[in-house]
A = this chain, B = another copy of it.
Amino acid sequence: MTETPLSIPIDRSSPVPLYFQVAQELERRITSGELAVGTRLENELVLAERLGLSRPTLRRSIEYLVDRGLLVRKRGVGTQVVMPRVRRPLELSSLYDDLSRAGEHPRTEVLRLAVEAPPDAVATLLEVDPGTEVYVLERLRYARDEPLALMHNYLPVGLVGLDEEKLARQGLYQLLRAAGVTLKIASQSIGARNATAAEARALDEPRGAPLLTMERTVYDDVGRVVEVGSHVYRASRYSFELTLTD
């Protein structure tokens, strides 16, 4: 419960906003342990004056960290550092990105890449008229040379140009982002069922092995449907980790 006089260098000629400079530096000190859990920050008036900022600007820095769960505020009491928990709300990342980051050497086998009319249920999710042609994609994802997931994707044509070579080298979401699409929001449903014979064969699992299923619809920043996915994962080798806030 100590209280440290805080000194943060601020570069007013930088294009990085002042509130963000402060927020970043505070975040670094908290996650590095330099600012221990339980530490009380000085009050906003004093802090703003010491850093040479207005209170609203300083408040904005603190607000950013409160939103991210690194600080707690109580009116009449003060602002305090709390445990820096894992706190990545399972971003809109694809399996490929996750595996790369974890050093799992992902590999993708493109089983099918076509432009054709999807099943009506998929057309509905994609918000296109039944019969409209879209990308239909079937891929098998490996990690460390072990099959991990069997993935079906549907994308409207016109957002991004796909070919097998690119898909083998990069994740789908990387390609979308590179094409200037801003992934914004996704709704997904996670369930489980036993593998069909074909799935068991593809994933190198015994018949009836438990699989995790994931259905996902992704929207961009203006509300367009960008992708619909329907995937199955080997439950013996995969689980979804996620962090909820609030």
Q: Is A118 an interface residue (CB 8 A)?
A: no
| Chain B residues in 8 Å Cβ range of A212 | 190-192
**Shortest Cβ gap from A91 to chain B (Å):** 6
Q: A191-B235, A222-B72 are in contact. Are A87 and B243 (CB under 8 A)?
A: no
**Shortest Cβ gap from A186 to chain B (Å):** 5
| Contact (Cβ within 8 A) B91 A246 | yes
* Partner of A244 from B37, B185, B193, B211 at Cβ < 8 Å: B185
Q: Is A102 an interface residue (CB 8 A)?
A: no
**Count of this chain's copies in the oligomeric assembly:** 2
| Contact (Cβ within 8 A) A187 B240 | no
| Contact (Cβ within 8 A) B187 A235 | no
Q: Please measure, in the bound complex, the distance between the C-alpha atom of A211 and the C-alpha atom of B211, giving whole angstroms.
A: 9
Q: Please measure, in the bound complex, the distance between the C-alpha atom of A86 and the C-alpha atom of B82, giving whole angstroms.
A: 31
Q: Is A85 an interface residue (CB 8 A)?
A: yes
Kindly state the interface size class of chain A when it binds its partner.
35 or more
Q: Is A50 an interface residue (CB 8 A)?
A: no
Within 8 A of B (CB), among A170-192: 184-192
| Contact (Cβ within 8 A) B85 A219 | yes
User: Given A83-B222, A193-B235, A213-B239, 10 other A-B contacts at CB below 8 A?
Assistant: A56-B56, A69-B184, A184-B246, A186-B243, A187-B242, A189-B241, A190-B240, A192-B212, A193-B210, A242-B242
